[in-house]
Amino acid sequence: MTKLFVAATDMSARGDRALRRAFRLAAQQGARVVVCHVVDDAPPADIVAGMKTASRAALERFTQDIAGDVPCEIIVDTGDPTADLVALVTERRPDLLVMGTHRPRPFLDALRETTSQRIVRLTPCPVLIVADRVDHDYDTVLGATDFSPASTAAMQEAATLAPGAAILPLHAFHVPFSGLMSASGQGVGEIELSFRQEAEEEDRRWRDITPLPEQCAQTLIQPGSVLMVLTEQIRAARAQLVTAGAHGRVGGARALLGSVATDLLRAPPCDVLISRPH
pLDDT tens by residue, 253-268: 544 566 788 888 888 8
pLDDT, tens digit (0-9, with 9 covering 90-100), for 131-184: 988 889 999 999 999 999 999 999 999 999 999 999 999 999 988 755 544 544
Work out whether strand 271-275 and strand 127-130 pair parallel, antiparallel, or are unpaired. antiparallel
Q: Which residues pair with 270 in a beta bridge?
A: none
Q: CA distances (Å), 58 to each of 10, 15, 53, 89, in order?
A: 12, 13, 9, 23
Alpha-carbon distance 173 to 82, whole Å?
Answer: 35
pLDDT, tens digit (0-9, with 9 covering 90-100), for 186-202: 555 778 888 899 999 99
pLDDT at residue 183 in the model: 46
Judge contact between 182 and 188, C-beta under 8 A.
yes
Is the CA virtual torsion 207, 213, 214, 219 positive or negative?
Answer: negative
Q: Is 136 helix (H, G, I), strand (E, B) or coil?
A: coil
How much is the pTM? Answer: 0.89
Domains of the chain (ranges, CATH numbers):
1-100 (3.40.50.620), 132-278 (3.40.50.620)
In the predicted model, is pLDDT for residue 48 greater than 80?
yes
Judge contact between 94 and 236, C-beta under 8 A.
no
pLDDT, tens digit (0-9, with 9 covering 90-100), for 207-237: 999 999 999 999 999 998 888 899 999 999 9
Judge contact between 230 and 142, C-beta under 8 A.
yes
Longest CA–CA span in the chain (Å) reads 70
Query: How crowded is the C-beta side of 253, counted as CA atoms within 13 Å?
Result: 6
Q: CA end-to-end span of the chain, whole Å?
A: 18
Mean pLDDT, the chain, rounded, equals 88
In the predicted model, is pLDDT for residue 109 greater than 80?
no
Higher-pLDDT residue of 259 and 75 is 75
